[in-house]
Chain A
Amino acid sequence: MNSHAENTRYFVRLTPSQRLQHIILVVSTSLLIITGYMVQAEAFVIQSFGNYGDTVFWLRGWIHRIAGATATAICVYHIFYVLVSKEGQSWFIDMIPRPRDLLDVWQNISYMLGFRERRPKMDRFFYLEKLEYWSVWFGMTIVIVTGIMLWTEFYWPEFFLRIASAFHLGEATLATLAIIVGHVYAVHYNAHVYPMNTTFIDGMISEHLMKEEHGMQYERELAIMNGTAEQAPTPHGELARLIDDYRNCITYLLARMKGKPGPDTEETRVDDDA
């Protein structure tokens, strides 16, 4: 924890390595989107390059390849990062979807519609963040595989290349739109962070925002700080907590099937919030 300003306390949200990975991905993806869509550009855009069109096209191709290779490299690095490093493992474990996310979806939507007083207390990563993260995994796998196919075009049947290019374009379009509608909104236009969430630069999150958007993690961190935690919990990345969540869910469901409410379940959380 850090205290940047007099009144506001700040929590660490992104480590330097994570910020670096993010920045590299932002730059390479932006370049990929721009240079990729130049292939689909309308005639008037192409005409605006005048006689330099072929040079532009040549540059476009190489920037796309270099940016693609960079993005691939950072993805490969990320796989090692989540497998090997401690903070990577913690990140990965917290990103794994769990039953509580479903409850969060339900409660958050009810809150937004006005049926609940308060936003549910969400953990380190809430469901949309998880969705975005896993979309990058799936999306990147598709664009990297098809991209490599298109780069080594001589090795594949022409029909495979047409399939690859359909997937490449489709996935790119999906990703671009999702970034604009999903991610850019969340970090720029969201009422809490407008005009820009600076977490990706300094890695910090304000106490207010932490309370608002990651209530559960906030409480845990607070408990550790105040020394009121029951059994020395870690603020994040606890595998046991993930397993617990699944176990609780199963216990709860089994209990419901038998017709009686489970012991330590989501029901409890609903009561807490109400």
Chain B
Amino acid sequence: MSVYLTMILRTATLLFLLPFSISIMAEVEGNCELCHKFPGIGRYTQTESDPAKDPAHREKFILYIDDELYDASYHGKIHCKGCHIGVDKIPHTDVPKVDCATDCHIRDPSVDKAFSHKKIVDDFRKSVHGVDGSRSEDKSGLPVCKDCHTNKTYHIDIEARVGTEDFLKVCNECHQSEAWTKRFFEHMLYRSLKRRTSREVIKLCSRCHMDAELMAKHNLDYVAGFKETFHAKAISYGDEDVANCLNCHAPYQLGFSPHRIKSARDESSPTHSENKIETCRQAGCHMKAQLKFGAGSRVHPSPGKIQLVGRTTTTKTTTASREAEKKLLADTLFEAKVIGWIILFYKVLIACVISGFILHRSLDIYAARREKRIMRSLMK
């Protein structure tokens, strides 16, 4: 009897709880804010080494989403599940990573089709950073969209940067949805503004390209010489008129794009020795540059790692390009040597002159003191 009673009670309890569980499921379908509205929500990443014992190596993930701020962000019009596909149970296990090439439910007004970043993702795959275009044998460390598009989580400063409420009033004369005009205007505005300052671009690129270990893994030079160039010095002051990485390696002006960035060894690359002069001559840069200005080897060779320059792993290299590579290496080494000699010459000269002066001046002081002593003793 007691067995039956227990079964009945269990069934009743389950039946009683069922509507609640369904309602929770329903919330997950459409209402992510149910959980993600709580500021305390978050987690630590687990590291492969030892997650529990080594808190220093754990990264904190804040999973809190502020509704208002999210709406003001780039993707504010897209629902969470538009990108986070496969989130249908709690906890969210076995969820695939966000794929930026996914079709959105937003329609691209220019062609009236579902909008997608697919084209740019495909371009990127073919670029030197992408899995198809990379010459590296080890494709594991290659960058993905999010490595560069480290967008601030929220663009709360957009109002401050835009500051054009009056302009929006003009839009709203015809367009009825104020929210829409604001979004559209901001979109256009953001696209016409520089996304990053030159300082930020350098910081972003050097995060990988100045990592000697990572670069060695892909058989590349790490960039150490750039900070010695005049461009870098001007940028460090916040000068936006001089070239940062992208102005030479992917100049929009010449029809290149960071998503289609190419190796300097690629003949169609803007930094290839044949094309360098055109890159230097871009409007606003060295427009009067003579042909010989673009000659020579590397603009920013890495002093310590020069011997790496010549190594290539790609199977695509031809004899001609290998010869060119060899010549480039020889030139780079020669130039580094010449500069090195000049610097050494001045170091020695400065050491000699200055120590000579100091010695002479010290003797002078010594003599003056002696004279003073003698004078004093004479006075007595």
Q: Quick one: which of A113, A155, A165, A181 contacts B293, CB cutoff 8 A?
A: A155
Number of residues from B at the complex interface, CB < 8 A: 44
Query: Is B239 on the interface with A (CB-CB < 8 A)?
Result: yes
Smallest beta-carbon distance A131→chain B, Å = 9
Q: Which residues of A have CB within 8 Å of B240?
A: 54
Alpha-carbon distance between A128 and B338 when the two chains are bound, in angstroms: 32
Within 8 A of B (CB), among A132-166: 153-159, 162-163, 165-166
Query: If A112-B366, A173-B346, A181-B358 touch, does A46 touch B237 (CB 8 Å cutoff)?
Result: yes
Smallest beta-carbon distance B174→chain A, Å = 38
Q: Which residues of A have CB within 8 Å of B357?
A: 178, 181-182, 185
Asked if residues A191 and B361 are in contact (CB atoms below 8 Å), the reply is no
Within 8 A of A (CB), among B253-302: 286-290, 292-297, 299
Query: Is B39 on the interface with A (CB-CB < 8 A)?
Result: no
Asked if residues B353 and A57 are in contact (CB atoms below 8 Å), the reply is no
Query: If A166-B343, A173-B350 touch, does A109 touch B363 (CB 8 Å cutoff)?
Result: yes
Asked if residues A156 and B238 are in contact (CB atoms below 8 Å), the reply is no
Smallest beta-carbon distance A98→chain B, Å = 20
Asked if residues B236 and A154 are in contact (CB atoms below 8 Å), the reply is no
Can you name the residue of chain B whose Cβ is closest to the Cβ of A105?
B360
Asked if residues B238 and A171 are in contact (CB atoms below 8 Å), the reply is no
Asked if residues A154 and B361 are in contact (CB atoms below 8 Å), the reply is no
As a 0/1 sequence over residues 337 to 367 of chain B, the CB contacts with chain A under 8 angstroms (1 = contact) are: 0110011011001100110011011011111
Asked if residues B292 and A157 are in contact (CB atoms below 8 Å), the reply is yes
Smallest beta-carbon distance A125→chain B, Å = 16
Q: Which residues of A have CB within 8 Å of B230?
A: 39, 165
Asked if residues B237 and A111 are in contact (CB atoms below 8 Å), the reply is no
Q: Which residues of A have CB within 8 Å of B342?
A: 163, 166-167, 170
Query: Is A261 on the interface with B (CB-CB < 8 A)?
Result: no
Asked if residues B236 and A43 are in contact (CB atoms below 8 Å), the reply is yes
Asked if residues A153 and B350 are in contact (CB atoms below 8 Å), the reply is no
Alpha-carbon distance between A49 and B316 when the two chains are bound, in angstroms: 49
Query: If A112-B363, A162-B335 touch, does A54 touch B237 (CB 8 Å cutoff)?
Result: yes
Query: Is B233 on the interface with A (CB-CB < 8 A)?
Result: yes
Asked if residues B237 and A163 are in contact (CB atoms below 8 Å), the reply is no
Most buried by A among B234, B357, B368, B370: B357
Smallest beta-carbon distance A105→chain B, Å = 9
Q: Quick one: which of A51, A109, A162 contacts B238, CB cutoff 8 A?
A: A51
Query: If A54-B237, A163-B338, A177-B354 touch, does A157 touch B295 (CB 8 Å cutoff)?
Result: yes
Query: Is A222 on the interface with B (CB-CB < 8 A)?
Result: no
Q: Which residues of A have CB within 8 Å of B372?
A: 191
Asked if residues A181 and B294 are in contact (CB atoms below 8 Å), the reply is no
Q: Quick one: which of A54, A113, A158 contacts B296, CB cutoff 8 A?
A: A158
Asked if residues A53 and B238 are in contact (CB atoms below 8 Å), the reply is yes
Q: Which residues of A have CB within 8 Å of B297?
A: 159
Q: Which residues of B have CB within 8 Å of A190?
A: 364
Q: Which residues of B have CB within 8 Å of A155?
A: 288, 290, 293
Alpha-carbon distance between A156 and B290 when the two chains are bound, in angstroms: 7
Query: If A157-B296, A170-B346, A171-B346 touch, does A163 touch B363 (CB 8 Å cutoff)?
Result: no
Q: Which residues of B have CB within 8 Å of A192?
A: 368
Q: Quick one: which of B234, B288, B289, B361 contacts A181, CB cutoff 8 A?
A: B361
Smallest beta-carbon distance B65→chain A, Å = 32
Query: Is A1 on the interface with B (CB-CB < 8 A)?
Result: no
Asked if residues B365 and A191 are in contact (CB atoms below 8 Å), the reply is yes
Smallest beta-carbon distance A67→chain B, Å = 18
Query: Is A174 on the interface with B (CB-CB < 8 A)?
Result: yes
Alpha-carbon distance between A185 and B365 when the two chains are bound, in angstroms: 11
Query: If A128-B360, A158-B295 touch, does A46 touch B368 (CB 8 Å cutoff)?
Result: no
Can you name the residue of chain B whose Cβ is closest to the Cβ of A58?
B239
Smallest beta-carbon distance A192→chain B, Å = 8
Chain A to chain B: the 7 pairs with minimum beta-carbon distance, closest first: A170-B346, A53-B238, A57-B237, A191-B368, A112-B363, A53-B237, A159-B296
Apart from A54-B237, A58-B239, A181-B357, list 4 A-B contacts with CB within 8 A: A51-B238, A113-B367, A154-B290, A192-B368
- Chain A residues with a Cβ under 8 A of chain B: 39-40, 43, 46, 49, 51, 53-54, 56-58, 109, 111-114, 128, 153-159, 162-163, 165-167, 170-171, 173-174, 177-178, 181-182, 185, 190-192
- Chain B residues with a Cβ under 8 A of chain A: 230, 233-234, 236-241, 286-290, 292-297, 299, 335, 338-339, 342-343, 345-346, 349-350, 353-354, 357-358, 360-361, 363-368, 370, 372
Some 8 contacts from A to B, beta carbons below 8 A apart, are: A53-B237, A154-B287, A159-B297, A159-B338, A162-B339, A170-B349, A174-B349, A190-B364
